[in-house]
Amino acid sequence: MTSHPDTGPRSTLLLLGICAMTFVVYLDTSITPVALPDIVGDVGGGGTAAPWILDAYTLAFACLLLAGGVLGDRLGARRVMLAGALVFTIASIVCAVAPSIAVLVAARALQGVAAAALVPLSVAALSTHIRHPRARARAIGLWGGTAGVALAVGPLLGGVLVTATSWRALFWINIPICLVGFWCLRASLRRDRVASGQRMDLPGQLLFIAAGCGATLALIEGPHRGWSSPFILGCVGAAVIAIAAFTLWENRTATPLLPRGLLRIPEVAVACSVNFLGLFGLYGVLFVLTLYFQRDLGLSPLHTGLRFLPLFGMLGIASLTAASVARRLGTRPTMLTGLALIGTGLVGLVTIELSAPPAVYLGALGLLGAGIPLSGGVVAIAAMANAVPETTMGAASGAMNTFRQFGAVFGVAVAALLSPPSPTTAVTHLSATFLVAATGAALGAVLTAVTLRPKPTAAQAKAEPESIHSATR
């Protein structure tokens, strides 16, 4: 008996390479927070260093996600993915040897650029190289599970590495994984034909970057430089002008970053909003609790990672089971359940201000972790599936992931604004961050409940006019 071509050695190598690069991309979003105090203590950088170490990566990732797929179509997925894997490897080495905060932040941004080249093309590569529907679904499920597992192991692995060696080990560990991923991709990706007619929306991309950077700069630097300082006012003004110019340009250009009207589809708007709000809460919590556990409670990076184990453990479990839960319950009930778990967990975290026993807020962290995959990710993609034409599903997924990453960016920035340090503590007003994030989850639940109304079946739709006609006789 011969094996199916979709399950042969080449497909196995492709899946291994994509999962290896996906693992390091998402690992670097969750492994770094536990090391923030050690990093800042070593390379310096002042009061805004910690949020920039996180946001440099996620901001570059978010700003360039939409362009990643188009670049793959123009230059070829093989070239772009191999270049992304190589750049991520080089950037990780620079992070590991960075002598100053400026070099580290720049290298983290370069990691984000590479991640934006890899993530949008990963599912596309699996879809084009693995044709059999069942094998493709299994491969995409494994890809999604890999991202969830990477997020789950990050804090604990980071705590172990920082405690055993130093914070630089967080980036050295990427190198062997990246080399394996690069070799597997090089051996398995076919040389694809380039879509010569595909054009890059360079003005739109530059305006999008300007808007994202201006808003993030203002949020992070505002409390330290003063909201009325010329620099902050300039950042706000640049962001507003860039957003307005981006909107006007996208309505005029023949090659917009997003297909026109895509965000006006209710299911797409809800998926983008829910993913933004979910990651906003997750990364806001990660940022303030890391500083609170280590600087205020005096916990080591390892013990901090252990405190986050319920959050990321449940996130990993829910990531692996979210698709099957949605098939049983339906996408709308699953998303509402996830948002309810997020909101309940965030409200429960308010008890930290009252010095609650660890079991109380560890349970709250577990609820937050379980709610993120159930409300977004593959479940949100399923919600869009029946409303978006197949030809624009990739663009819809790219938009959702962009909102997801910007949720992480603004979650850190707003948390630093709501829970700033005082002369005696690392963070103040923890409950402000948690309650604002919980309000966002509640807003997402309302949007989901109102917008994703259950559609009648064919039999119900046929019977409805008859019943209306009978009632009016």
What is the reported pLDDT for 198? Answer: 57
What is the reported pLDDT for 454? Answer: 65
What is the reported pLDDT for 73? Answer: 66
Secondary structure of the chain in the HEC alphabet?
Answer: CCCCHHHCHHHHHHHHHHHHHHHHHHHHHHCCHHHHHHHHHHHCCCCCHHHHHHHHHHHHHHHHHHHHHHHHHHHCHHHHHHHHHHHHHHHHHHHHHCCCHHHHHHHHHHHHHHHHHHHHHHHHHHHHHCCCHHHHHHHHHHHHHHHHHHHHHHHHHHHHHHHHCCCCHHHHCHHHHHHHHHHHHHHHCCCCCCCCCCCCCHHHHHHHHHHHHHHHHHHHHHHHHCCCCHHHHHHHHHHHHHHHHHHHHHHHCCCCCCCCCHHHCHHHHHHHHHHHHHHHHHHHHHHHHHHHHHHHCCCCHHHHHHHCHHHHHHHHHHHHHHHHHHHHHCHHHHHHHHHHHHHHHHHHHHHHHHCCCHHHHHHHHHHHHHHHHHHCHHHHHHHHHCCCCHHHHHHHHHHHHHHHHHHHHHHHHHHHHHCCCCCCCCCCCHHHHHHHHHHHHHHHHHHHHHHCCCCCCHHHHHHHHHHHHHHCC
What is the reported pLDDT for 472? Answer: 38
Residues of the chain with CATH 1.20.1250.20: 8-188, 265-454
What is the reported pLDDT for 442? Answer: 93
Which fold is adopted by the domain 8-188?
Growth Hormone; Chain: A; (1.20.1250)
Could you tell me the mean pLDDT of each successive run of 10 residues in the chain, 473 residues long?
54 86 89 87 78 87 80 77 93 93 93 88 74 71 77 85 91 94 87 61 85 86 81 90 89 80 84 89 87 84 84 83 84 90 90 69 88 83 73 72 85 84 77 91 91 58 41 39
Q: Which one of 3.40.50.970, 1.10.10.10, 3.90.850.10, 1.20.1250.20 gives the CATH number of domain 265-454?
A: 1.20.1250.20
What is the reported pLDDT for 194? Answer: 57
